[in-house]
Chains A and B, each alone.
Chain A
């Protein structure tokens, strides 16, 4: 086998397809990753970039297609098998033992020693050799729990190197880093590549990608748009390829909001220390306002504070012209504000309880006599709310965990339909929902707006933002960086704001 290994790509994917239920996450993907290169994969949220990284790392097994390493087709069915082929992944959620030292974490499972007796001294020597080779500076005896996120990432990378990894896949490695830390990580990545390690860098931070990568693959809708040299790309060229699609007619007609319509919610200077700062905007009656931006820009945090779920450090809010400062979700609800939270399963559903109970839970006060629930009324009101959201193929007596994702999400809408809210906050309203149910949810949001309810929506899906909202607010790094009317917003202008590129 004296094929010149440098001629062959380190990793080559051919026709890789991966489906999750009905959604195609990767669609016939062909990509070649060169040895010793930093290969970035970019794309919008949901474009499939993480899935591709995970397919190479053995976290997801492709349904179709092949992955070859050094020209040999391999079957990477688990992260364990990937490691045997010297591939490892540094995930967004780090998997370190906080209570143990750096050196213990690096050599976890491959400690020096004889039989059951460990040799910590030898591990320290190995650690220094490894750290020097790749230019890392870390105290081997420090407790991992006391390190910063950036340092923890270095520990995780060292752990990979200690296992003689030749390919390291990094999934959004800078998402939780400050800019200084991110720059330092970029250095680390360059040095790794210089020592012959191949790095797959999945990220949506285009500046960093352009700075660190040799090659860039742009993905859209689970497919590859192109792979090319980083030197040939600009931020603008990347954005254009990432969003290059037209809006289809998947959205209900938007009724315009006339200029004279009264303001429903007005927030000024909202600040939550270290999370978001000086956020001001209005929502008018019957208006759908979308708050968008990259994941982690502070959108969810802003709406949680408006709902009283998190506290504010500064800022004022008016609801229908009256001072509004909810101390808890309970007080927000009593003022006529509802929220559909970001994570259905963790923050909204009571999966062991019936649909009726899930719908009525926030408004039981209206349906009790002396603390006893009026069951007939509860059933009637919950049933009519379920009908309004068009809960199909399920009864109100079903347990929540028997419902599809779309019906679960509709049930949470029904929770707020029970009493007409003034303002409905919907955080990623269509996440994890199939295409048919998505349209149902869009119709619902549009109908609510038609009735004069203000809708404040958080969404990462740019199509949805452009297709539904009357006005688009863009956040970046905890600040509101732009406000666009539906008529003037397009994918490029929103993405430019979200990524921090000057208006095109």
Chain B
């Protein structure tokens, strides 16, 4: 408590981040490490760099959306419309690239449509005060509909096949999508742990009335998390368009559930006020390793589902248990 000023200066950056990691509550770290060791022991193919690079690439889009959605959950809300935003962004990116041949405009359009969908969600949740789960479920259907209208109900193909390099191009052995995901994860990690906005977000999610009485504009903070989640989902959608060179309208919710699974398995509280981007990072890797292990061991996909569902329940139950023991 009585740190000398010199000591506290050296305790800046890295130390604060390390301190933010609550060592009493690291369940996700141990299970991820255990799973990693298990896979190295049981499969020769697992440790090959091709396999590991592939795992990273597969998780990149989930990580981009997930690190942003972590902020929404810490703020005490859900965003189910991540899927619809992701699909719309891939469509608009493909359309804009076909129309302008500009990569910047195409990706910018994907992010922009995501951010504007996020503004709609944020407004509805923060000011109209509709429960975020219901609000974004409803807006999902609207956005899915927009996707069908934009694409005129058909698959949009990107004419210039070079566009695929945006996501699939490689630097230092890793795909661009992986690098972009790494940048996004670090960015949101930093925002959450080091900025005033991050502090205000934890406060708003943890106790909105106390946050208001401490001078925080809770409505703006709440709404902003939806804009951030929307923009990040938009970026993920833009990269999807690049990765597959096509964009297809659908009303498929599977992306958001994969993203939410990563966030929740990592241990970010669905009650708000608690959580971390590094948790989502580990949650995503845990799921990725699990799936990778299933595939390497050629486990029946039906059985995979059963196990994956059980693992999610176990993770959340373990989390509840440790939390209730602490309080």
Say yes or no for B162: interface residue by CB 8 A criterion.
no
Using a Cβ–Cβ cut-off of 8 Å, how many residues does chain B contribute to the interface with A? 33
* Complex: A367 Cα to B2 Cα, angstroms: 20
**B12 engages A375 (CB within 8 Å):** yes
Query: Which residues of B (180-213) have their CB < 8 Å from a CB of A?
Result: 194-197, 199-200, 202-203, 206-207, 209-213
Taking a contact as CB atoms under 8 Å apart, the answer to whether A339 and B213 are in contact is: yes
Q: Is the CB of A362 within 8 A of B194?
A: no
Q: Which residues of B contact A333 (CB under 8 A)?
A: 214-215
Contacting residues of chain A (372-399) with chain B, CB-CB under 8 angstroms: 372-373, 375-376, 379-380, 383, 386-387, 391, 394-397
Q: Are A362 and B215 in contact (CB-based, < 8 A)?
A: yes
- Say which one of B3-11, B91-99, B241-249, B300-308 lies at the interface with A: B3-11
Known: A333-B215, A375-B13. A347 touches B209 (CB 8 A): yes
Nearest B-chain residue to A394, judged by Cβ: B1
Q: Which residues of A contact B210 (CB under 8 A)?
A: 341, 346-350
For A401, the closest partner residue in chain B by CB is: B327
Contact status B212-A397, CB under 8 Å: no
- A383: chain B residues at CB < 8 Å are 1-3, 8
| Number of interface residues, chain A, beta carbon within 8 A | 43
| Cβ A380 vs Cβ B214 within 8 A | no
Q: Is the interface of B mostly helix, strand, loop or mixed?
A: helix
Stretch at the interface among A130-138, A352-360, A453-461: A352-360
Tell me the smallest distance from the CB of B7 to a CB of chain A, in Å.
9
Q: Are B273 and A373 in contact (CB under 8 A)?
A: no
* B159 CB, nearest partner CB in chain A, Å: 41
B274: nearest chain-A partner, CB-CB: A352
Are A330 and B217 in contact, with the CB atoms below 8 A? Answer: yes
Interface contact A353-B203, CB-CB below 8 Å:
yes
What 0/1 pattern do residues 204 to 243 of B give for CB contact below 8 A with A? 0011011111111100000000000000000000000000
Is A379 in contact with B213, judged by CB distance below 8 angstroms?
A: no
Say whether B196 contacts A368, CB under 8 Å: yes
CB-based contact B194/A352 at 8 Å: no
B157 to chain A, nearest CB (A): 41
Contact: A309 with B199, CB < 8 Å? no
> In the complex the two chains form, is B195's CB within 8 Å of A371's CB?
yes
A351 at the interface (CB under 8 A from B): yes
Interface centre among B19, B200, B214 (most CB of A within 10 A): B214
A333 to B214, CA, bound (A): 8
* Contact B199–A364 (Cβ < 8 Å): yes
Contact of A361 with B214 in the complex, beta carbons under 8 Å: yes
Choose among A309, A357, A367, A368 the residue that contacts B212 (Cβ–Cβ < 8 A).
A309
A61 to B74 alpha-carbon distance, docked (Å): 39
Nearest CB of B to A345, in Å: 8
Residue of B nearest to A395 (CB): B1
Contact yes or no, B216 A330, CB < 8 A = yes
| Known contacts A373-B194, A373-B196, A383-B2; A362/B214 CB under 8 A | yes
B16 within 8 A of A: yes
Confirm or deny: A415 has a beta carbon within 8 angstroms of a beta carbon on chain B: yes
| Any B CB within 8 A of the CB of A365 | yes
Contacts of A332 in B (CB 8 A): 215
Complex A-B: 8 CB contacts under 8 Å = A307-B213, A332-B215, A348-B214, A357-B202, A364-B196, A375-B194, A387-B2, A395-B1
Q: B residues touching A (Cβ–Cβ < 8 Å)?
A: 1-3, 5, 8-9, 11-13, 16, 19, 194-197, 199-200, 202-203, 206-207, 209-217, 273-274, 327
6 tightest CB-CB pairs across the interface, nearest first?
A: A330-B215, A333-B215, A362-B214, A364-B196, A395-B1, A350-B206
